[in-house]
Amino acid sequence: MYRNTSYLLLSVLKSRFAEKHSIWSSIGLVLRHVSTTNTTQKRFIQSFVKPINCRFDFKHNCCLTSRSQPLLRQPSSQTGFQLNQSIRRSLNTSHTMAFTTDQRGQQNSSDYRVFIKKGDTGEPVSPWHDIPLFADEGNRIYNMVVEIPRWTNAKMEIATKEPLNPIKQDIKSDKLRYVRNCFPHKGYIWNYGALPQTWEDPKHLDEATGCKGDNDPIDVIEIGSRVADRGEVIKVKALGVMALIDEGETDWKVIAIDVRDELAAQLNDVRDVEMLKPGLIRATYEWFKIYKIPDGKPANEFAFNGEAKDREFAEKTIAETHKYWQELVNASSNATDLDLKSTTLGNSSKIDNQNAIEIINQRQESAKAVPKPIDDQTAIDKWYYITLP
Ligand SMILES: [Mg+2]
Protein backbone atom coordinates (compact mmCIF):
# COMPACT_ATOMS: atom_id res chain seq x y z
CA MET A 1 0.00 0.00 0.00
CA TYR A 2 2.69 2.51 1.01
CA ARG A 3 4.71 1.67 -2.06
CA ASN A 4 1.76 2.63 -4.23
CA THR A 5 1.16 5.88 -2.43
CA SER A 6 4.80 6.82 -2.80
CA TYR A 7 4.68 6.21 -6.50
CA LEU A 8 1.58 8.30 -6.60
CA LEU A 9 3.30 11.10 -4.72
CA LEU A 10 6.29 11.03 -7.00
CA SER A 11 4.20 11.10 -10.11
CA VAL A 12 2.02 13.95 -8.94
CA LEU A 13 5.00 16.03 -7.92
CA LYS A 14 6.74 15.34 -11.19
CA SER A 15 3.66 16.42 -13.06
CA ARG A 16 3.56 19.70 -11.18
CA PHE A 17 2.71 21.55 -14.35
CA ALA A 18 -0.30 19.45 -15.04
CA GLU A 19 -3.73 20.37 -13.81
CA LYS A 20 -3.36 21.92 -10.41
CA HIS A 21 -6.20 20.27 -8.61
CA SER A 22 -5.58 16.69 -9.34
CA ILE A 23 -2.10 17.32 -7.97
CA TRP A 24 -3.13 18.94 -4.75
CA SER A 25 -5.92 16.56 -3.96
CA SER A 26 -3.65 13.60 -4.69
CA ILE A 27 -0.89 14.98 -2.49
CA GLY A 28 -3.50 15.47 0.20
CA LEU A 29 -4.37 11.79 0.06
CA VAL A 30 -0.71 10.83 0.25
CA LEU A 31 0.01 13.08 3.22
CA ARG A 32 -2.94 11.69 5.08
CA HIS A 33 -1.46 8.27 4.52
CA VAL A 34 2.12 9.25 5.41
CA SER A 35 1.15 10.49 8.86
CA THR A 36 0.01 7.00 9.82
CA THR A 37 2.98 5.02 8.52
CA ASN A 38 5.83 3.50 10.56
CA THR A 39 9.54 4.40 10.51
CA THR A 40 10.57 2.05 7.70
CA GLN A 41 7.73 3.22 5.56
CA LYS A 42 8.60 6.83 6.27
CA ARG A 43 12.21 6.29 5.23
CA PHE A 44 11.00 4.61 2.08
CA ILE A 45 8.65 7.47 1.25
CA GLN A 46 11.41 9.99 2.00
CA SER A 47 13.58 8.35 -0.63
CA PHE A 48 10.93 8.98 -3.22
CA VAL A 49 10.68 12.71 -2.71
CA LYS A 50 14.44 13.22 -2.40
CA PRO A 51 15.16 13.28 -6.17
CA ILE A 52 12.85 16.26 -6.53
CA ASN A 53 14.51 18.11 -3.62
CA CYS A 54 11.62 17.63 -1.23
CA ARG A 55 11.45 15.96 2.14
CA PHE A 56 8.88 15.24 4.79
CA ASP A 57 9.36 16.88 8.15
CA PHE A 58 7.57 14.27 10.25
CA LYS A 59 8.22 16.16 13.48
CA HIS A 60 6.29 19.20 12.35
CA ASN A 61 2.85 18.02 11.55
CA CYS A 62 4.05 15.96 8.65
CA CYS A 63 5.08 18.90 6.58
CA LEU A 64 6.35 18.37 3.06
CA THR A 65 9.22 20.80 2.50
CA SER A 66 11.10 22.01 -0.50
CA ARG A 67 14.46 23.75 0.12
CA SER A 68 13.50 23.96 3.84
CA GLN A 69 10.36 25.87 3.03
CA PRO A 70 7.06 24.31 4.00
CA LEU A 71 5.20 23.13 0.97
CA LEU A 72 2.24 21.29 2.39
CA ARG A 73 1.30 20.26 5.87
CA GLN A 74 -1.34 18.12 7.45
CA PRO A 75 -4.59 19.96 7.96
CA SER A 76 -5.32 21.12 11.47
CA SER A 77 -9.00 21.04 10.71
CA GLN A 78 -11.53 20.10 8.09
CA THR A 79 -10.50 23.13 6.06
CA GLY A 80 -8.07 21.00 4.13
CA PHE A 81 -4.37 21.15 3.46
CA GLN A 82 -2.59 24.37 4.15
CA LEU A 83 -0.30 25.29 1.37
CA ASN A 84 2.42 27.86 1.38
CA GLN A 85 1.03 30.44 -1.00
CA SER A 86 4.30 31.66 -2.48
CA ILE A 87 5.44 28.13 -3.23
CA ARG A 88 2.03 27.25 -4.55
CA ARG A 89 2.43 30.11 -6.98
CA SER A 90 5.89 29.05 -8.04
CA LEU A 91 4.73 25.49 -8.63
CA ASN A 92 1.91 26.53 -10.88
CA THR A 93 2.15 28.05 -14.28
CA SER A 94 0.17 31.20 -14.72
CA HIS A 95 -2.45 29.51 -16.87
CA THR A 96 -3.36 27.03 -14.16
CA MET A 97 -3.13 29.40 -11.22
CA ALA A 98 -4.04 32.88 -12.33
CA PHE A 99 -5.45 33.83 -8.93
CA THR A 100 -4.89 32.99 -5.28
CA THR A 101 -6.79 33.75 -2.10
CA ASP A 102 -5.91 35.69 1.04
CA GLN A 103 -8.18 34.71 3.91
CA ARG A 104 -8.78 37.10 6.77
CA GLY A 105 -10.61 36.68 10.05
CA GLN A 106 -11.93 33.45 11.43
CA GLN A 107 -14.07 31.16 9.33
CA ASN A 108 -17.68 30.90 10.60
CA SER A 109 -17.50 34.41 11.98
CA SER A 110 -18.83 37.69 10.61
CA ASP A 111 -15.22 38.92 10.21
CA TYR A 112 -14.22 36.19 7.78
CA ARG A 113 -13.20 37.43 4.33
CA VAL A 114 -11.62 35.81 1.31
CA PHE A 115 -9.71 38.31 -0.83
CA ILE A 116 -8.49 37.45 -4.30
CA LYS A 117 -5.01 38.23 -5.58
CA LYS A 118 -3.20 37.76 -8.84
CA GLY A 119 -1.38 34.46 -8.81
CA ASP A 120 1.86 35.75 -10.33
CA THR A 121 2.36 39.08 -8.56
CA GLY A 122 0.15 38.79 -5.48
CA GLU A 123 -1.56 42.08 -6.33
CA PRO A 124 -5.09 42.32 -4.94
CA VAL A 125 -8.01 42.33 -7.35
CA SER A 126 -11.73 42.66 -7.02
CA PRO A 127 -13.26 39.32 -8.03
CA TRP A 128 -16.26 41.27 -9.32
CA HIS A 129 -14.59 44.04 -11.32
CA ASP A 130 -11.04 42.96 -12.12
CA ILE A 131 -11.32 39.33 -13.15
CA PRO A 132 -12.29 39.26 -16.81
CA LEU A 133 -15.65 37.73 -17.69
CA PHE A 134 -14.03 35.67 -20.41
CA ALA A 135 -11.07 33.37 -19.86
CA ASP A 136 -11.12 32.68 -23.61
CA GLU A 137 -13.68 34.69 -25.53
CA GLY A 138 -13.12 32.92 -28.86
CA ASN A 139 -14.01 29.59 -27.32
CA ARG A 140 -16.69 31.08 -25.06
CA ILE A 141 -14.94 30.03 -21.87
CA TYR A 142 -15.84 32.11 -18.84
CA ASN A 143 -14.11 32.72 -15.54
CA MET A 144 -16.20 31.68 -12.57
CA VAL A 145 -15.50 32.79 -9.00
CA VAL A 146 -16.40 29.95 -6.65
CA GLU A 147 -18.18 31.26 -3.56
CA ILE A 148 -19.62 28.04 -2.17
CA PRO A 149 -17.99 24.61 -2.60
CA ARG A 150 -20.36 21.70 -3.17
CA TRP A 151 -21.81 19.97 -0.06
CA THR A 152 -21.25 23.01 2.17
CA ASN A 153 -24.01 25.06 3.78
CA ALA A 154 -22.49 28.47 4.56
CA LYS A 155 -24.04 31.07 2.25
CA MET A 156 -20.89 32.80 1.04
CA GLU A 157 -21.02 35.60 -1.50
CA ILE A 158 -19.01 38.36 -3.10
CA ALA A 159 -19.46 41.40 -0.87
CA THR A 160 -20.64 43.87 -3.50
CA LYS A 161 -20.68 46.76 -1.03
CA GLU A 162 -17.17 46.34 0.40
CA PRO A 163 -13.89 47.57 -1.11
CA LEU A 164 -12.23 44.88 -3.25
CA ASN A 165 -15.42 42.81 -2.93
CA PRO A 166 -14.04 39.92 -0.86
CA ILE A 167 -16.14 36.80 -0.33
CA LYS A 168 -17.96 36.83 3.00
CA GLN A 169 -20.77 34.96 4.67
CA ASP A 170 -24.24 36.43 4.29
CA ILE A 171 -25.92 37.58 7.48
CA LYS A 172 -29.67 37.44 8.00
CA SER A 173 -31.28 38.76 11.21
CA ASP A 174 -27.82 39.21 12.81
CA LYS A 175 -26.96 35.56 12.23
CA LEU A 176 -24.53 33.94 9.82
CA ARG A 177 -26.58 32.36 7.10
CA TYR A 178 -26.45 28.64 6.33
CA VAL A 179 -28.77 26.98 3.84
CA ARG A 180 -30.80 24.09 5.23
CA ASN A 181 -30.54 20.53 3.97
CA CYS A 182 -33.83 19.85 2.20
CA PHE A 183 -34.16 16.10 1.80
CA PRO A 184 -32.50 14.44 -0.06
CA HIS A 185 -29.92 17.20 -0.51
CA LYS A 186 -26.89 18.13 1.58
CA GLY A 187 -25.94 21.80 1.45
CA TYR A 188 -25.33 23.10 -2.05
CA ILE A 189 -25.42 20.30 -4.63
CA TRP A 190 -23.01 22.00 -7.08
CA ASN A 191 -20.11 24.40 -6.80
CA TYR A 192 -21.84 27.73 -6.63
CA GLY A 193 -20.50 31.13 -7.53
CA ALA A 194 -20.68 34.13 -9.81
CA LEU A 195 -19.45 35.33 -13.17
CA PRO A 196 -17.20 38.38 -12.78
CA GLN A 197 -18.00 41.63 -14.60
CA THR A 198 -21.74 40.96 -14.68
CA TRP A 199 -24.59 42.66 -12.85
CA GLU A 200 -28.30 42.03 -12.62
CA ASP A 201 -29.50 45.61 -12.82
CA PRO A 202 -32.28 46.22 -10.27
CA LYS A 203 -33.69 48.99 -12.48
CA HIS A 204 -34.04 46.73 -15.47
CA LEU A 205 -37.35 44.92 -15.86
CA ASP A 206 -36.57 41.63 -17.51
CA GLU A 207 -38.87 40.73 -20.42
CA ALA A 208 -38.70 37.03 -19.82
CA THR A 209 -39.32 37.05 -16.07
CA GLY A 210 -41.31 40.25 -15.59
CA CYS A 211 -39.09 41.02 -12.58
CA LYS A 212 -36.18 43.32 -11.87
CA GLY A 213 -32.59 42.22 -11.30
CA ASP A 214 -31.30 41.26 -7.87
CA ASN A 215 -28.40 43.78 -7.80
CA ASP A 216 -25.73 41.05 -7.81
CA PRO A 217 -23.37 39.50 -10.32
CA ILE A 218 -25.02 36.63 -12.21
CA ASP A 219 -25.00 33.30 -10.34
CA VAL A 220 -23.49 30.10 -11.70
CA ILE A 221 -23.81 26.49 -10.67
CA GLU A 222 -20.88 24.36 -11.75
CA ILE A 223 -21.90 20.73 -12.15
CA GLY A 224 -18.50 19.04 -12.52
CA SER A 225 -17.38 16.13 -10.36
CA ARG A 226 -14.72 18.00 -8.38
CA VAL A 227 -15.46 19.93 -5.20
CA ALA A 228 -13.91 23.35 -5.81
CA ASP A 229 -12.27 25.60 -3.23
CA ARG A 230 -13.84 28.75 -1.89
CA GLY A 231 -12.41 31.74 -3.76
CA GLU A 232 -11.07 29.63 -6.57
CA VAL A 233 -11.36 31.03 -10.09
CA ILE A 234 -12.21 28.27 -12.54
CA LYS A 235 -12.78 28.24 -16.26
CA VAL A 236 -16.23 27.10 -17.27
CA LYS A 237 -18.47 26.82 -20.29
CA ALA A 238 -22.12 27.74 -20.04
CA LEU A 239 -24.61 24.96 -20.83
CA GLY A 240 -27.92 26.56 -19.97
CA VAL A 241 -29.71 28.83 -17.58
CA MET A 242 -32.69 28.77 -15.24
CA ALA A 243 -34.74 31.85 -14.44
CA LEU A 244 -35.43 31.74 -10.74
CA ILE A 245 -37.73 34.34 -9.25
CA ASP A 246 -36.37 34.73 -5.74
CA GLU A 247 -38.57 36.86 -3.51
CA GLY A 248 -39.80 38.81 -6.53
CA GLU A 249 -36.42 39.41 -8.15
CA THR A 250 -34.95 37.88 -11.30
CA ASP A 251 -32.13 35.61 -10.24
CA TRP A 252 -30.59 33.80 -13.20
CA LYS A 253 -28.76 30.57 -12.45
CA VAL A 254 -26.30 29.74 -15.20
CA ILE A 255 -25.59 26.02 -15.48
CA ALA A 256 -21.92 25.49 -16.31
CA ILE A 257 -19.18 22.90 -16.38
CA ASP A 258 -15.51 23.25 -15.46
CA VAL A 259 -13.63 22.85 -18.74
CA ARG A 260 -11.22 20.43 -17.03
CA ASP A 261 -14.00 18.07 -15.98
CA GLU A 262 -13.81 14.57 -17.44
CA LEU A 263 -17.22 15.05 -19.08
CA ALA A 264 -16.66 18.63 -20.25
CA ALA A 265 -16.01 17.68 -23.87
CA GLN A 266 -19.34 15.82 -24.04
CA LEU A 267 -21.37 18.51 -22.32
CA ASN A 268 -22.20 21.30 -24.73
CA ASP A 269 -25.78 22.18 -24.03
CA VAL A 270 -28.45 21.68 -21.42
CA ARG A 271 -29.85 18.56 -23.12
CA ASP A 272 -26.46 16.87 -22.74
CA VAL A 273 -26.79 17.37 -18.99
CA GLU A 274 -29.94 15.26 -18.92
CA MET A 275 -28.19 12.56 -20.96
CA LEU A 276 -25.01 12.37 -18.89
CA LYS A 277 -26.25 13.47 -15.50
CA PRO A 278 -29.84 12.25 -15.44
CA GLY A 279 -31.96 13.87 -12.77
CA LEU A 280 -29.63 16.77 -12.08
CA ILE A 281 -31.71 19.44 -13.80
CA ARG A 282 -34.83 18.25 -12.00
CA ALA A 283 -32.98 18.16 -8.66
CA THR A 284 -31.65 21.66 -9.33
CA TYR A 285 -35.14 22.94 -10.01
CA GLU A 286 -36.43 21.40 -6.78
CA TRP A 287 -33.46 22.60 -4.78
CA PHE A 288 -34.03 26.24 -5.73
CA LYS A 289 -37.77 25.92 -5.34
CA ILE A 290 -37.68 24.71 -1.75
CA TYR A 291 -34.40 25.88 -0.25
CA LYS A 292 -35.84 28.79 1.71
CA ILE A 293 -38.94 26.98 2.98
CA PRO A 294 -37.28 25.74 6.22
CA ASP A 295 -36.58 29.41 7.02
CA GLY A 296 -40.27 30.25 6.81
CA LYS A 297 -40.16 31.64 3.27
CA PRO A 298 -42.57 30.64 0.48
CA ALA A 299 -41.49 28.34 -2.36
CA ASN A 300 -39.56 30.16 -5.09
CA GLU A 301 -41.04 30.56 -8.55
CA PHE A 302 -39.47 30.19 -11.97
CA ALA A 303 -40.01 31.75 -15.35
CA PHE A 304 -40.46 29.32 -18.29
CA ASN A 305 -42.22 26.84 -15.98
CA GLY A 306 -38.91 26.01 -14.40
CA GLU A 307 -37.47 24.76 -17.67
CA ALA A 308 -33.72 25.25 -18.18
CA LYS A 309 -33.05 27.31 -21.29
CA ASP A 310 -30.28 26.31 -23.68
CA ARG A 311 -26.70 27.44 -24.06
CA GLU A 312 -27.47 30.15 -26.59
CA PHE A 313 -30.04 31.68 -24.27
CA ALA A 314 -27.58 31.47 -21.37
CA GLU A 315 -24.86 33.22 -23.33
CA LYS A 316 -27.26 35.95 -24.40
CA THR A 317 -28.28 36.45 -20.77
CA ILE A 318 -24.66 36.60 -19.63
CA ALA A 319 -23.87 39.14 -22.36
CA GLU A 320 -26.76 41.33 -21.17
CA THR A 321 -25.61 41.26 -17.56
CA HIS A 322 -22.07 42.05 -18.74
CA LYS A 323 -23.45 45.11 -20.53
CA TYR A 324 -25.26 46.27 -17.36
CA TRP A 325 -22.01 45.88 -15.43
CA GLN A 326 -20.13 47.94 -18.02
CA GLU A 327 -22.73 50.68 -17.72
CA LEU A 328 -22.43 50.52 -13.94
CA VAL A 329 -18.66 50.91 -13.78
CA ASN A 330 -18.47 53.46 -16.58
CA ALA A 331 -21.23 55.73 -15.32
CA SER A 332 -19.99 59.25 -14.67
CA SER A 333 -21.86 59.47 -11.40
CA ASN A 334 -22.78 56.47 -9.32
CA ALA A 335 -25.64 56.94 -6.94
CA THR A 336 -25.11 53.45 -5.61
CA ASP A 337 -23.94 51.79 -2.45
CA LEU A 338 -22.11 49.15 -4.48
CA ASP A 339 -18.34 49.30 -4.18
CA LEU A 340 -16.76 49.66 -7.60
CA LYS A 341 -13.12 49.93 -6.57
CA SER A 342 -10.84 48.19 -8.98
CA THR A 343 -7.10 47.76 -9.36
CA THR A 344 -7.10 47.21 -13.11
CA LEU A 345 -9.94 49.13 -14.76
CA GLY A 346 -9.01 52.50 -16.10
CA ASN A 347 -12.03 54.29 -14.68
CA SER A 348 -12.65 56.70 -11.83
CA SER A 349 -12.85 53.86 -9.27
CA LYS A 350 -9.27 52.70 -9.84
CA ILE A 351 -7.07 52.38 -6.78
CA ASP A 352 -3.38 51.60 -6.72
CA ASN A 353 -1.77 48.43 -5.42
CA GLN A 354 -0.66 50.02 -2.15
CA ASN A 355 -4.19 51.17 -1.36
CA ALA A 356 -5.52 47.74 -2.18
CA ILE A 357 -3.00 46.06 0.13
CA GLU A 358 -3.98 48.45 2.91
CA ILE A 359 -7.64 47.50 2.50
CA ILE A 360 -6.73 43.86 3.05
CA ASN A 361 -4.31 44.60 5.90
CA GLN A 362 -7.00 46.42 7.83
CA ARG A 363 -8.43 42.99 8.43
CA GLN A 364 -6.94 40.53 10.83
CA GLU A 365 -4.86 37.67 9.50
CA SER A 366 -6.64 34.35 9.82
CA ALA A 367 -5.76 32.75 13.12
CA LYS A 368 -4.01 29.59 11.92
CA ALA A 369 -7.02 28.85 9.73
CA VAL A 370 -8.84 27.12 12.57
CA PRO A 371 -12.52 27.77 11.95
CA LYS A 372 -14.71 28.98 14.76
CA PRO A 373 -17.10 26.25 15.90
CA ILE A 374 -20.45 26.73 14.19
CA ASP A 375 -23.02 28.14 16.64
CA ASP A 376 -25.83 25.82 15.70
CA GLN A 377 -24.32 22.71 14.16
CA THR A 378 -27.50 20.73 14.88
CA ALA A 379 -29.50 22.88 12.49
CA ILE A 380 -26.89 22.36 9.77
CA ASP A 381 -26.91 18.59 10.23
CA LYS A 382 -30.67 18.36 10.12
CA TRP A 383 -32.60 17.13 7.10
CA TYR A 384 -35.82 19.00 6.38
CA TYR A 385 -38.64 17.11 4.70
CA ILE A 386 -40.62 19.53 2.61
CA THR A 387 -44.17 19.04 1.38
CA LEU A 388 -44.86 21.39 -1.45
CA PRO A 389 -48.20 23.17 -1.25
MG1 LIG B 1 -28.23 36.23 -7.77
For the residues 2-12, what does the mean pLDDT come to? 53
Same domain, 66 and 174: no
Nearest in space to 9 (alpha carbons), one of 32, 59, 19: 32
Averaged confidence pLDDT in the chain? 84
Q: How far is the CA of 245 from the centre of ligand 1 (A)?
A: 10
- 92, part of any domain: no
CATH of the domain at 237: 3.90.80.10
Same domain, 307 and 368: yes
Q: 106 and 112 in contact (C-beta within 8 Å)?
A: yes
What is the spatial distance between Cα 281 and Cα 344, in angstroms, rounded to a whole number? Answer: 37
Same domain, 75 and 133: no
What would the DSSP string read from start to end of 115-147? EEEETTT--EE-TTTTS-SEEETTTTEEEEEEE
Q: What is the pLDDT of residue 216?
A: 96
- Indicate if the pLDDT at residue 389 is higher than 60: yes
Same domain, 343 and 277: yes
Same domain, 69 and 214: no
Same domain, 241 and 192: yes
Pairing of strands 249-258, 219-222: parallel
Q: How far is the CA of 199 from the centre of ligand 1 (A)?
A: 9
Q: How far is the CA of 311 from the centre of ligand 1 (A)?
A: 19
Q: How far is the CA of 88 from the centre of ligand 1 (A)?
A: 32
Q: What is the pLDDT of residue 30?
A: 61
Q: 299 Cβ partners below 8 Å, 6+ apart? A: 289, 290, 293, 388, 389
Q: How far is the CA of 217 from the centre of ligand 1 (A)?
A: 6
Q: 320 and 217 in contact (C-beta within 8 Å)?
A: no
Same domain, 77 and 214: no
For the residues 235-257, what does the mean pLDDT come to? 95
SS3 9: helix
Q: How far is the CA of 214 from the centre of ligand 1 (A)?
A: 6
Q: Which residue has the higher pLDDT, 216 or 387?
A: 216
Q: How far is the CA of 80 from the centre of ligand 1 (A)?
A: 28
- 75, part of any domain: yes
Nearest in space to 379 (alpha carbons), one of 126, 154, 50: 154
SS3 38: coil
Same domain, 116 and 146: yes
Q: How far is the CA of 7 from the centre of ligand 1 (A)?
A: 45
Which residues neighbour ligand 1 (ion) by CB within 5 Å? 214, 216, 219, 251
What is the spatial distance between Cα 151 and Cα 79, in angstroms, rounded to a whole number? Answer: 13
- 138, part of any domain: yes
Q: 200 and 214 in contact (C-beta within 8 Å)?
A: yes
- 389, part of any domain: no
Q: How far is the CA of 8 from the centre of ligand 1 (A)?
A: 41
Q: What is the pLDDT of residue 95?
A: 39
SS3 340: coil
* Host domain of residue 50: 2-87
For the residues 25-54, what does the mean pLDDT come to? 65
Q: How far is the CA of 130 from the centre of ligand 1 (A)?
A: 19
- Indicate if the pLDDT at residue 13 is higher than 80: no
Q: How far is the CA of 237 from the centre of ligand 1 (A)?
A: 18
How far, in Å, are 100, 172, 194, 302, 343 from residue 94 at the CA level?
11, 38, 22, 40, 19
Same domain, 60 and 152: no
- 143, part of any domain: yes
Tally the domains of the chain: 2
pLDDT in tens, 344-386: 998 788 999 999 999 999 998 876 667 888 888 888 899 999 9
**What is the rounded radius of gyration, in angstroms, for the C-alpha atoms of the chain?**
22
Same domain, 146 and 21: no
